[in-house]
């Protein structure tokens, strides 16, 4: 995605009063009983759009398949999953401009963001219902996950992680800036003032990087393949800790570089909340990520991130982000099962 310097405006250090009022009046934060697990998902996340969704390599039924693996195999009871609300226009205006949101009323604009040209030919009301509504539900899930993470120590939104979208610009299948929104809500509602983004999707997280360009409250660790989209050199300037990988990087090298990055970050920033963007497009064979990480490597990666947070007693929320192979859902489910087996998360009943 070619980004101009003008789109790199920083999110202000303190949201303007209007944004703050919107956050305070939002319905996206609600009380979740202890009988529920801090796992957020809605069947509305999954995109089924006249078969057109198959024209993009993203597996748009991935989110539901992850939850089905977990529930059918007895790791998580279906009635313990938390269903989020849809992010409203007022919620989205906390970060996005009115003009950007209005631009999504053009099917042509949405088609360019999701990289599926035929979407341009579809009436916008249908695009809103079949494509943007699922995204808005996932945004609601990301925002709620921060609250759950502070309450429970961890949370997983089985969706979200739209890290290419910034306040003024969507792209790369990302129409709304859920990471930026989630953090802005946390600043206002959760008494949080230091947030670390650990972005381990194969692609650079240029959206949130631009949104928090000069905001010292947010520290970004981004480890990505430098030889693939988005090539956003403006956003690169705002990464606090950058680990650039070459195409073809293998599992052992990848995990070694991650260990070194974590060791370095501990002395640089002490967060009160970690937002973990856990893309599985690092998997060997992924057509877009072009890295060679084994399924076991992804499981170990996630375990390292959760352990990094737990060892420092930092609440963590995980977003599933990119992953362009059918096998991604199985790998994510296996990783969540491993986190539970290692007592890094607790999928059982929290009452007692």
Residue 51: its pLDDT value, please? 64
Q: Is 203 a catalytic residue?
A: no
Reported as a pLDDT band with limits 50, 70 and 90, residue 57 is low
| Mean pLDDT of all residues in 307-332 | 96
Residue 261: its pLDDT value, please? 98
Residue 293's nearest CA partner among 320, 323, 260, 318 is 323
What is the CB neighbour count within 10 angstroms for residue 50? 10
Which residue in the block uniquely carries the two structure tokens 């520290």?
219
Residue range 275-305, pLDDT digits in tens:
999 999 999 999 999 999 999 999 999 999 9
Residue 5 has pLDDT above 60, yes or no: no
Residue 351 has pLDDT above 60, yes or no: no
**Euclidean distance between CA atoms 108 and 99, whole angstroms:** 15
Average pLDDT, the chain: 93
Strand runs (DSSP E) across 24-181, as ranges?
39-40, 154-157
Give the SS3 label for residue 177: coil
| Mean pLDDT of all residues in 309-336 | 96
**Euclidean distance between CA atoms 153 and 155, whole angstroms:** 7
More confident residue, 249 or 116: 249
| Mean pLDDT of all residues in 323-347 | 96
Residue 108 has pLDDT above 70, yes or no: yes
Q: Which of 49-53, 146-150, 218-222, 248-252 has the lowest mean pLDDT?
A: 49-53
Per-residue exposure over 181-215, b if at least 16 CB sit within 10 Å of its own CB, e if not: bbbbbbbbbbebeebbbbbbbbbbbbbbbbbbbeb
Q: Is 151 exposed, middle or buried (0-12, 13-18, 19+ CB in 10 A)?
A: middle
Per-residue exposure over 27-43, b if at least 16 CB sit within 10 Å of its own CB, e if not: ebbeebeeebbbbbbbe
Instruction: Find the catalytic residue in 164, 203, 208, 233.
Output: 164
Per-residue exposure over 127-146, b if at least 16 CB sit within 10 Å of its own CB, e if not: beebbbebbbbbbbbbbbbb
Per-residue exposure over 76-100, b if at least 16 CB sit within 10 Å of its own CB, e if not: beeebbbbbbbbeeebbbbbbeeeb
| Terminal-to-terminal C-alpha distance of the chain | 50
Residue 267: its pLDDT value, please? 95
More confident residue, 14 or 245: 245
Residue 33: its pLDDT value, please? 97
Assess contact for 251 and 285: CB atoms under 8 A.
no
Assess contact for 281 and 323: CB atoms under 8 A.
yes
**Euclidean distance between CA atoms 220 and 194, whole angstroms:** 11
Reported as a pLDDT band with limits 50, 70 and 90, residue 6 is very low
- CB neighbour list of residue 259: distance below 8 Å, 6 or more residues apart: 304
- CB neighbour list of residue 102: distance below 8 Å, 6 or more residues apart: none
More confident residue, 24 or 57: 24
Structure tokens that stand for 93 in this block: 């205006």
Reported as a pLDDT band with limits 50, 70 and 90, residue 61 is confident
- CB neighbour list of residue 126: distance below 8 Å, 6 or more residues apart: none
Assess contact for 258 and 223: CB atoms under 8 A.
yes
């Amino acid at each position: 995605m070619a980004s101009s310097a003008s789109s790199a405006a920083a999110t202000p250090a303190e949201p303007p009063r209007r944004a703050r009022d919107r956050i305070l009046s939002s319905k996206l934060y609600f009380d979740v009983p202890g009988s529920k697990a801090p796992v957020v998902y809605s069947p509305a996340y999954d995109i089924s759009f006249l078969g057109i969704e198959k024209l993009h390599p993203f597996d748009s039924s991935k989110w539901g398949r992850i939850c089905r693996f977990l529930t059918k195999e007895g790791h998580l009871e279906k009635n313990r999953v938390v269903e989020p609300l849809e992010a409203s226009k007022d919620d989205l205006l906390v970060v996005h401009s009115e003009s950007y949101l209005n631009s999504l009323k053009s099917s042509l604009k949405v088609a360019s963001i999701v990289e599926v040209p035929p979407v341009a030919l579809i009436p916008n009301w249908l695009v809103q219902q079949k494509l943007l509504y699922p995204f808005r539900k996932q945004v609601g899930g990301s925002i709620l996950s921060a609250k759950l993470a502070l309450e429970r120590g961890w949370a997983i939104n089985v969706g979200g992680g739209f890290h290419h979208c910034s306040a003024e610009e969507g792209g790369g299948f990302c129409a709304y800036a859920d990471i930026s929104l989630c953090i802005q809500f946390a600043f206002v509602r959760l008494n949080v003032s230091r947030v670390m983004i650990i972005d381990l999707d194969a692609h650079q997280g240029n959206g949130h990087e631009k949104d928090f360009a000069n905001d010292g409250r947010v520290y970004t660790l981004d480890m990505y393949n430098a030889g693939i989209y988005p090539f956003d050199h403006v956003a690169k300037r705002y990464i606090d800790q950058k680990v650039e990988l070459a195409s073809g990087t293998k599992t052992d090298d990848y995990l070694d570089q991650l260990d070194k990055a974590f060791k370095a970050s501990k002395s640089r920033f002490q967060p009160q909340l970690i937002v973990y963007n856990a893309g599985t497009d690092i998997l060997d064979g992924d057509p877009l990520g072009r890295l060679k990480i084994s399924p076991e490597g992804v499981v170990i990666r996630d375990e390292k991130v959760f352990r990094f947070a737990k060892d420092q007693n930092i609440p963590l929320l995980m977003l599933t982000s990119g992953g362009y192979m059918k096998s991604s859902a199985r790998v994510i489910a296996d990783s969540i099962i491993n986190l539970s087996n290692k007592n890094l998360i607790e999928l059982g009943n929290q009452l007692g």
